[in-house]
Structure 1
């Protein structure tokens, strides 16, 4: 899932290079934590990119 997110973020032009870490807990449907490292290549604020991820992608484990 993290690779899919990174590919979409870079393809949409939100940043040139990034790394995403997702953490999950047993019994919780959504991701507990989302960490975004943009290597200072983000075109917008990191918080807005994370909000974009949360609002537009289903992060529940499959």
Structure 2
């Protein structure tokens, strides 16, 4: 039971969100989370998006035993 978190931009025009959902299905016994960033594009490189990603990573680290 490993935690698996994916981050995907809602406005990603390169890779549709459905592919992140499909990848998560592979981890049938994992604790899964898909974080969809509103207005996020494929690169998720805006300062706001990077802050969201950093907060998510911080939560993952804090909650990993």
TM-score under structure 2 normalisation?
0.28
Q: Which has the higher strand share?
A: 2
TM-score by length of 1: 0.29
Q: Compare the two structures and name the one with the higher helix fraction.
A: 2
Bigger Rg, which one = 2
